Amino acid sequence: MAKSIYPCLWFENEAKAAADFYCSVFPNSRILNESPIVVNWEINGRKFMGLNGGAAKFKFNDSVSFVIPCEDQIEIDYYWEKLTTDGGKEGMCGWCVDKFGVSWQVVPTVLGELMSDPARSQRVVQAFLKMKKFDIEALRQA
């Protein structure tokens, strides 16, 4: 039986650069080991593998994304800036793509609570459909 599962991200040949970048963005992260083909790293105890697959035809897309639950606006702002600068791109509704093409959802932890209130949920949805980076205060006021 498998003891754990973890994602393998296929890069053309930027696995080490990506691992270094992610370890610089996320606290409690580190490179575990590396070879010319594979780099393993850890973020908050979760293992990731980067593969230098060498084929440019395989690209990341939004069908797979990593969710970053954020406790406050400072945290949202931090991850949004780190992931969208230097070639990253902003998307709608808290989605962004980093400079390597990996999709992220930078989401406030309070969103589930706001969405669970039937009297408020439609207003919250209407508010965040207009947002790129989430604005917690605007969501609370919706």
Give the CATH number of the domain where residue 133 resides.
3.10.180.10
From 24, 41, 58, the end of a domain falls on 58
Same domain, yes or no, for 29 and 66? no
Q: pLDDT band at residue 110, thresholds of 50, 70 and 90? A: very high
Same domain, yes or no, for 48 and 91? no
Same domain, yes or no, for 73 and 46? no
Same domain, yes or no, for 76 and 27? no
Domain residues for 85?
A: 60-142
**Contact assessment for residue 67 and residue 30, using Cβ atoms and an 8 Å cutoff:** no
Lookup: tokens for 91: 């998307």
Q: What is the DSSP string of 9-66?
A: EEESS-HHHHHHHHHHHSSSEEEEEE-SSEEEEEETTEEEEEEE---TT----TTSEE
Same domain, yes or no, for 37 and 67? no
| Domains of the chain: total | 2
pLDDT at 87: 96
pLDDT digits (tens, 9 = 90+) for 30-86: 999 999 999 999 999 999 999 999 877 889 999 999 999 999 999 999 999 999 999
Same domain, yes or no, for 68 and 83? yes
Which pTM was predicted? 0.93
